[in-house]
Chains A and B, each alone.
Chain A
Amino acid sequence: MSFPWAKQYQPTTEIGKFFDKQLPLPRFVYGALGAGYPTPKNLNYFYNFGVLAGVALVIQIITGVVLGMHYAANTTVAFDSVEHIMRDVNGGWMLRYMHAVGASFFFGVVYVHIFRGLYYGSYKPPREVLWMLGLVIFLLMMATAFMGYVLVWGQMSFWGATVITGLFSAIPVVGSYIQTLLLGGFSPDNATLNRFFSLHYLLPFVIFGVIILHVWALHIPGSNNPTGIAVKTEADTVPFHPYYTAKDFFGLGVYLTLFAAVVFFAPNALGEVDNYIPANPLSTPAHIVPEWYFWPFYAILRAFTVDFFFIPAKLMGVLAMFAAILLLFFLPWLDTSPVRSNSYRPLNRILFWVFVVVALVLGVAGGKPAEEPWVRLSQVFTAYYFAHFLIIIPLVSRFEKTKPLPRSISEAVLAKYGNSAPGVAAQPAE
């Protein structure tokens, strides 16, 4: 683990030595987030988003635990207890808005984190397990966010629960039994609300555990970097502390400022007005949409409008939606190019930006009612989504002519500052 030049933790006080012998937690932190973790010195601001995602999770857990002190998971009073938090609990409105807006920010940060990984090839060897653990976190987040949204027990909560559990009814033969099992009844009711509360409270801690694995897996090969080339010498790295702790602190400040701006000045901008109407099992809102971070997948789900031979359209949509996420697990083996960073892959870089646009359009389409032109648009873009990962990427990596790589990170950094050109034989900076 780590590089031979990594600084070793040296306890200086007697207490420090005592604990280092019996529970070397400071040594662990020093090696993970302190001066003992050599980090490539050319990381850009996109590399802040991993730490930001961790902070976002901590904000969710803290505000969530506190909200749990006032929330009541019972269909007769759940909505009232949320309004009780908003109106009567000291500062409750702030805690609840932080939790609701925090979920959106968490997803926003994680999406940037994922796309950063896609651009710089962070999923490629030797970081496949790291990438897959990240996807596990993403899946857990989706489940947690969905169940949390149901807890409010507004109209969108109720009908969201109905629609999403309804996905499972598409499974042949056993589908409707699975839906009944998930709901604990034939429609979302008290049993559903209680189990969702229980799991919504549990899963963030599971996520926290997987994050520890994710960070562990990160520290085996060390961080990737914008050049995608491996760290070779000590000159390529700086200690995580103070260099990246300082940079992350600055990034955190920017993040928290934006977060506060939304929490305090536009807390409902990302929400749905229908969720301020208490759940009514006898009346469906005109337009059911999930929260914005599910829109691309919702668009894929709805894009399948006709039966495909013997497979019903509904099942196709469900299969495609799950496949859209699960295929990312295979990405390290679909993209066989030995070059990681798109900075040196001219063709793949264009395809990356095309994919960004496709994902954004799918996102917009997923938030719209199922009308033209959005249906046809999401069909074409859904096709591209699958083609991109499953057909185009494997082909591109076989035929693409990549640009020459710099010999080392230091050389790339020097080139950036105009002292040398990439690929030119330059002495490693020392």
Chain B
Amino acid sequence: MSLVRLGALGVGSFFCVAVLWGAVQPRDAVVPDPVKALYKHPHAIEWVHNGAGNLGITGTFDRKQLQRGFQVYKEVCSACHSINRVAFRDLADLGFTAPEIKAIAASYEVPSIDDKTGEPATRKGTPADKFPLVYPNEIAARAAQNGALPPDLSLIVKAREGGTNYIHSLINGYADAPASWTVPDGLYYNPYFKSLNIAMPPPLAADDQITYVDGTKSTREQYAKDIAVFLTWTAEPKLEARKETGLAAVIFLLIMTGLGYLSYKKVWADVKRKSA
């Protein structure tokens, strides 16, 4: 068995020397990353209606805000971005009624097959359909968008660091590039975008670009908030149910744990008494 320890000594020294040999190598001078210097982290926004919102225990969405966000999506974003994981029927969560959902669905053309010729065709959407893709595939998207790919927005809030705040900051984050930074032709400077150069032109350029049906003051700040919250919902449509269930589960488990603790103390009472 002392052979094991001898072998261990050998193996241990081998790995130690090998890794420390790397540690003592001189490092290349660190070239400061200009992107890192200019990149800005998204700032937190207040977007909650009642409760404490995304991070709260019982936060709920503001239905009016979700509907406004949907309006922003429909009038602006949907020109290039799909929300293909969302079905029209899901809009019931936003407070739309069944006839309203039918009308919204019917205003979209979804891919289908001509039942006489079998050729690809389109038909009016139904509540069961999902929001159609804007471009049939990536190649078509890039061809139409000067080489850029507008991502599907269904999951964008969960797929980006900062989530809701990121969308809000990015939408209104366009700025003039500092002198040290050159923006290639056809791209725009946005310090909240990971590479700083974004292909999307400023989507919400001016106040009063959208006329809100609910009469909310039409400002760029409001657009950015509303679309960010709407996309939070598309990414996590079960958020409210999750928190509701969670609160009940945690309260129940606390009661069960409390009873469990008392039972545990009772069971052990005589052993502890004997020991003490």
Contact = CB atoms under 8 A, between A and B. Distances in A.
- Asked whether any CB of A lies within 8 Å of a CB of B in the complex, the reply is yes
Contacts of B254: 257
B12 A387 contact: yes
Contacts of A93: 238, 241-242
A145 B1 CA distance: 35
B274 A390 contact: no
A120 to B, nearest CB: 20
Interface string B232-269: 00010110011101110110011011101101100110
A97 B263 CA distance: 31
B5 interface: yes
Given A94-B245, A313-B22, A391-B9, A246 B256 contact: no
A66 interface: no
B155 interface: yes
B257 A379 contact: no
B4 interface: yes
Interface string A248-278: 0110111011001101110110000110110
Nearest to A384: B16
A207 interface: no
B20 A380 contact: yes
Given A265-B57, A387-B12, A273 B161 contact: yes
B165 to A, nearest CB: 13
A257 B250 contact: yes
Contact of B21 (A286, A306, A327, A380): A306
Nearest to B154: A83
Query: B interface, by DSSP: helix, strand, loop or mixed?
Result: helix
A97 B30 CA distance: 40
Interface in A324-349: 327, 330, 333-334, 336
A14 interface: no
A167 interface: no
Contacts of B268: 243, 246-247
Interface in B13-57: 13, 15-23, 25, 27, 30, 57
B9 A264 contact: no
Contacts of B260: 246, 249-250, 252-253
A234 to B, nearest CB: 13
B15 A323 contact: yes
Given A242-B267, A417-B275, A264 B250 contact: yes
A243 B159 contact: no
A379 B22 contact: yes
Given A238-B271, A253-B253, A264-B249, A333 B18 contact: no
B175 interface: no
Given A87-B237, A254-B257, A323-B11, A383 B23 contact: yes
Contact of B267 (A246, A265, A330): A246
A379 B243 contact: no
B267 A243 contact: yes
B276 interface: yes
Contacts of A320: 15, 18-19
A334 B4 contact: yes
A304 interface: yes
A29 B17 CA distance: 51
B220 interface: no
A83 B161 CA distance: 19
A414 B30 CA distance: 61
A41 B9 contact: no
Contacts of B23: 376, 379-380, 383
B66 to A, nearest CB: 16
B158 A246 contact: no
B192 to A, nearest CB: 15
Interface string A387-410: 101110010000000000000001
| Max chain A C-beta neighbours (<10 A), residue from B17, B85, B235 | B85
B20 A383 contact: yes
B136 to A, nearest CB: 15
B74 interface: no
B18 A304 contact: yes
A249 B275 CA distance: 23
B160 interface: yes
A386 B12 CA distance: 5
B98 interface: no
Nearest to B11: A390
A218 interface: no
B194 interface: yes
A41 B15 contact: no
B138 to A, nearest CB: 9
Nearest to A320: B15
B16 A383 contact: yes
Nearest to B253: A257
Contacts of B206: none
B76 interface: no
Contacts of A376: 23, 27
A161 interface: no
Nearest to B275: A413
Interface string A53-97: 000000000000000000000000000100100110000011001
Given A306-B25, A316-B18, A334-B8, A260 B274 contact: no
Contacts of A97: 242
B250 A274 contact: no
A393 B111 CA distance: 68
B1 A333 contact: yes
Interface in A117-166: none
Nearest to A245: B267
A47 to B, nearest CB: 13
12 contacts: A93-B241, A247-B267, A253-B256, A253-B258, A264-B247, A264-B250, A277-B151, A277-B159, A327-B8, A327-B11, A382-B15, A387-B16
Given A260-B253, A264-B249, A333-B4, 6 more contacts: A273-B163, A276-B155, A376-B27, A386-B11, A389-B8, A390-B12
Q: What 10 pairs across the A-B complex have the smallest Cβ distances?
A: A264-B246, A390-B12, A253-B257, A379-B23, A276-B159, A250-B260, A390-B8, A308-B18, A246-B267, A305-B22
